[in-house]
Amino acid sequence: MATTRAEETPTRREQILATAADLFAARGFHGVSVADLGAACGISGPALYKHFASKDAVLAEMLVTISERLLDVGRTRVARADDADAALRGLVDWHVEFALHHRALIIVQDRDWESLPADARERVRSLQREYVDLWAAQLRLLHDGLDLTAARAMAHAAFGLINSTPRTGSLPDPSLHDLLIEMALRALLPPA
């Protein structure tokens, strides 16, 4: 049986990105030096340049990659769904799953957005607009007469709820998962 990429050991670049996300979330992008990042990865600061051109490149790849992943998996969930209700449920489940497993990335996205190089910032914005519109399309199918602007606002409100995971306290993840899904679906689905 062939292994999938998810079952493989992370690449060195992926390990560096994960470590950087944790450090940036804890101390902020500007609070982490290349030497700090290298030390946390078990390499010297200059050895980091074998993998990334700069600390800015680490942040750029981190945030572009997560935006691509959110969109790719979201599209897959919608494509596999039988109808708009199932598609929306799949999107909510995916986003909650992502938010629970990537709290550090949510913090970095919120706090260090302005440190992102301009070209990467525009790429992330573009990907995020597509992701929002993926949600908005399903919402418009479920709510008669819902215009695109309102559907986008609903999607953003749901993201705010779901992306609260870094600040949700001590509720265990399985319980938090169920709570976030229930709350998001109550906010997004039309009344019965």
The secondary structure of 128-159, three-state, reads HHHHHHHHHHHHHHHCCCCCHHHHHHHHHHHH
pLDDT over 90 at 151, yes or no: yes
- Domain positions in the chain are 54-188
Q: What is the DSSP letter of 29?
A: G
Please report the pLDDT score of residue 32 as a whole number.
Answer: 96
At 18-34, the pLDDT tens digits run 999 999 999 999 999 99
Q: What is the largest CA-CA distance in the chain?
A: 59
Please report the pLDDT score of residue 67 as a whole number.
Answer: 97
Contact between residue 28 and residue 110 where contact means Cβ atoms under 8 Å apart: no
Helix (H) or strand (E) holding 87: helix 84-101
Q: Which fold has domain 54-188?
A: Tetracycline Repressor; domain 2 (1.10.357)
At 34-62, the pLDDT tens digits run 999 999 999 888 888 899 999 999 999 99
- Please state, in angstroms and rounded to a whole number, the distance separating the CA atoms of residues 32 and 84: 43
pTM over 0.95: no
Q: What angle do CA 180, 67, 27 make, to 5 degrees?
A: 80
